[in-house]
Structure 1
Amino acid sequence: MSPWVPGGNEISPEIKLAAARVLEALGTVPDGVPVGPAADRLAAAGADPALEAAAGPLLPPSSPAVAQLVYPQYGGLERDTASVMAVVRQTWTDGAERRDRLVTADVRLRRAGGAWTVSELHPVAPQPDAVAALSGPAAELAASPRVLLPNAAAADLAAEAVDTRVVGALLALSRTYELAVTVFRAGHPENVFGTDRTSNHTRGRAVDIWAVDGRPVVSMAKDEPFLLDFLAAVRSTGSDEIGGPVDPDGPGGKHFSDALHRDHVHLGFERAA
């Protein structure tokens, strides 16, 4: 598997690359090499070896193993600090069997002397049996072949941490589009990054979508009809907090756009149910 490489339109790709190299170093272990300690792998990636202490499930259960980023999406972007919410596919060998899982992590970075480095790791502990506990619309969503849900997102559903309006909106959209979800709640910064305001993700009232019909949102031109049609479809679900690469309705409307949301569509509900 190849290391993650940024495509076109990525904002400050060096930030995501710094996060990706750390996640790949933690999760990629050659045959015959122990999973831990990982200090040498981190040092080779230009990262602080002390990050291993917070790696948790970013270290695979056994080796040989490979970690490949599904997508590293921004969770926050300021002048000298950033959050990258990464979904990582881990593949490892367990005896004669090959296993895999999706692990979500909030990776915090800082810039000093012009260089971005990883300062904190906040992985979400996998819950492999989360889907089995689901019922009703949440179970329908998790079982849909048209919606890619990382394990952390399925666990949020199982914990009943996701607003039913968000579930309903995704089911409605999935009738027309294939969706790739980054996060609901777990793996997202608690507050709107750089502020003291509680994020609607924390309230369970939002979801981030990084790809539609297999196409990364970041790859879409801002004036592309497909993107504009999808944003209109999101609006038709009743969402009143829609972030994305472009703001179709201008200041004071339901949509908003900034550099942070160039790489995903945020579907949220500002008002409580």
Structure 2
Amino acid sequence: MAAVVKLLRPAGTRSVIDVIDAQYGGILSNSASVLVPCRVYTISGGRVVSGGTTVDVRLSKSRGSWRVTATHPAQPGAAAARLSAAARQVLASDRISLPPASAADIRSGQVHDSVLTTMLQLATTYRIGISVIRSGHPLDVFGTSRPSDHPRGRAFDTWQIDRHPVVAPSTSRSLITSYMRAAESLGSYNVGGPYQLSGAAFFSDQTHHDHVHAGFQT
């Protein structure tokens, strides 16, 4: 968190950083990626200006302790001149909570409608908190040379379901597994989470113990 604060609150600025979540982008025995979506409120010209980003914090382990080796802020890109109906509906939904970088991803027009329509369908049953869509995520699946679906706008991560964090021990297993199955039924070919479910589309590992991943082929 200290690395994120240093990056987003330069010396001499009056600002507050609201960390929405911190989830793994990947974890190996001696290296890790932690994704930190956050909002930033800054006083400028006598008024409060809100913004924010997602930071991919890279860490390495040496002699039993972890240290930050790099920080990579999200780069969503410029807003598109026109958006699909699905994009406009997601941005307007009060049942889908988007961090600043994810909202900017959608406004950029670089998120596939398969992702957006799935979010909208899930939101008819659940209130969902999104952590990462496109920007701010590692380009490759962490620790591999295999491209991730996230930077291509074909995946989204959910950190909160009906206001319950996926990582919280008190969150119902059935709530999480029903959400995972719903994502698969709506077209996700690659659903990861804290529980291994039966079916070719599902997977579970340490990286996904704190969020639900839904990836799409188109």
User: What's the TM-score, normalizing by structure 2?
Assistant: 0.90
Aligned counterpart, 1:218: 167
Question: Is residue 64 from structure 1 mapped to residue 11 from structure 2 by the alignment?
Answer: no
Q: CA deviation at 1:221?
A: 6.0
Aligned counterpart, 2:61: 111
Task: Describe the shift of the 1:203–1:132 C-alpha distance in structure 2 as closer, same or farther (beyond 3 A).
Answer: closer
Q: CA deviation at 1:126?
A: 6.9
CA distance in 2, matches of 1:27, 1:68: 11
Aligned partners of 2:164 and 2:171 also within 8 Å:
no
CA distance in 2, matches of 1:177, 1:223: 14
Aligned counterpart, 1:23: 4
CA distance in 1, matches of 2:170, 2:194: 8
- The structure whose residues are more often helix, as a share, is 1
Count of equivalent residues: 218
* 1:181 aligns with one of 130, 137, 161: 130
Aligned partners of 2:80 and 2:109 also within 8 Å:
no
Question: Is residue 93 from structure 1 mapped to residue 43 from structure 2 by the alignment?
Answer: yes
User: Where do 5+ consecutive residues of structure 2 fail to align?
Assistant: none
Query: Following superposition of structure 1 onto structure 2, how do residues 142-221 of structure 1 map, counting pairs within 5 Å?
Result: 142-220=91-169
Task: Describe the shift of the 1:201–1:27 C-alpha distance in structure 2 as closer, same or farther (beyond 3 A).
Answer: closer
CA distance in 2, matches of 1:214, 1:204: 25
CA distance in 2, matches of 1:99, 1:141: 23
CA distance in 1, matches of 2:84, 2:112: 14
Greater gyration radius = 1
Q: CA deviation at 1:223?
A: 6.8
Q: CA RMSD in A?
A: 2.2
Amino acid at match of 1:118: V
Identity %: 38
Question: Is residue 263 from structure 1 mapped to residue 176 from structure 2 by the alignment?
Answer: no
CA distance in 2, matches of 1:265, 1:186: 17
Task: Describe the shift of the 1:155–1:26 C-alpha distance in structure 2 as closer, same or farther (beyond 3 A).
Answer: closer
Amino acid at match of 1:102: G
CA distance in 2, matches of 1:198, 1:158: 23
Moved over 3 A (4+): 25-28, 129-135, 220-223
Task: Describe the shift of the 1:172–1:220 C-alpha distance in structure 2 as closer, same or farther (beyond 3 A).
Answer: farther
CA distance in 1, matches of 2:92, 2:81: 10
Moved more, 190-199 or 222-231: 222-231
Aligned partners of 2:80 and 2:108 also within 8 Å:
no
Query: Following superposition of structure 1 onto structure 2, how do residues 41-56 of structure 1 map, counting pairs within 5 Å?
Result: none
Q: CA deviation at 1:178?
A: 1.1
